[in-house]
Amino acid sequence: MNPETEFPLQQVLDENGKLVGDRSQVTDDELKDFYRWLVLLRTLDQRAWNLQRQGRIGTYAPFSGQEAAQIGAAAALNKGDWLCPSYRDWGALIYAGVPLYYPFLNAMGNPVSGKIPDDVNALPVQVVIAAQILHSVGLAWSSKLQNQNRVAIPFFGDGATSQGDFHEALNLAAVVKAPVVFVCQNNQWAISVPISRQMNTKTIAQRALAYDIEGVRVDGNDIIAMYQTLKQMVAHARSGAGPVLVEAVTYRLGAHTTADDPTRYRESEEAERLARREPISRLKTYLQEAGLLSEEDIQRVDEEAKADVEDAVKKAEQYPKMAPESFFDNVYETMTDPLKKQRGQFQASLAQGGVTHG
């Protein structure tokens, strides 16, 4: 078997913004809206990086370069479907309706960022690698048993496919035919470990064969291909035909987190070459050449994105600070006696000046 033949890369726009496939399932207005979302999320992501460098937020995991993979997938869901994100998937959450200032609050350590709005079916961001993949199967299976006709999408990176949770989740989902669309954002690097050192398989999509489920590879930097392919895969899962594994081939433009230095393990030539495939420039080029985006439109989108992000920064920085002892409060629905004791000891330490409010 030739995996690259069995699992060809689905692509509609090439890296130069040229139409190389069928885009009949997406309208001009949807494409222009996608462009606005991509610019907004890139602006937010870069602002967050700068805020961390200024000491205004804590550690942050940037997602620049992966916006199309997230938006293209999230846009394919219905309102009641489930999103199960990792710590790098704020783009999908924001598209689904999570406030724009939540990523900043999260990087400030404010637990409010984990309170998902009532009208958004999503889990809070998961830091434990691959854990949300298991949770997505539970949500999807529960939905199936209750005849709710909902699909779940967990987002995860290539590094997560080396975790046992990934394989356990795919195995169970295949057995019970849970309506899950597993979306792996293969950004080529698990922190400093390249994909070539993580696995011996040529593709991630081919791992679907082991569980006898549908597998597909998509150009994760091509938002049209992502959206159209995910629409098909979501329909497949919703029909009861079983789960799907999607490998979105993308590239992490920046560092793993603000605590990382990718220049220590990535060659500059590789970074420059793969950066040219990023999603915003290719969509902008296509829209301009199709007469759907003018220079005035580009300037307006940029200015609106900057204004929206600055408003989000203000909201986050003006948000009421949480009391230090509040991190005890939501560990369990009802606080246990040992936790009450620890909370009391911590409060006593505060009163004695042992801990300062941050």
Residue 135 bears catalytic tag: no
Is the distance from CB of 95 to CB of 71 less than 8 angstroms?
A: yes
Query: Is residue 265 annotated as a catalytic residue, yes or no?
Result: yes
Give catalytic status of residue 357 as yes or no: no
Q: Among the options 47, 88, 256, 282, which is catalytic?
A: 256
The rounded distance, in Å, linking the Cα atoms of 297 and 156 is 33
List the catalytic residue out of 236, 252, 277, 282: 252
List 53, 265, 273, 300, catalytic entry: 265
Active site residues: 252, 256, 265
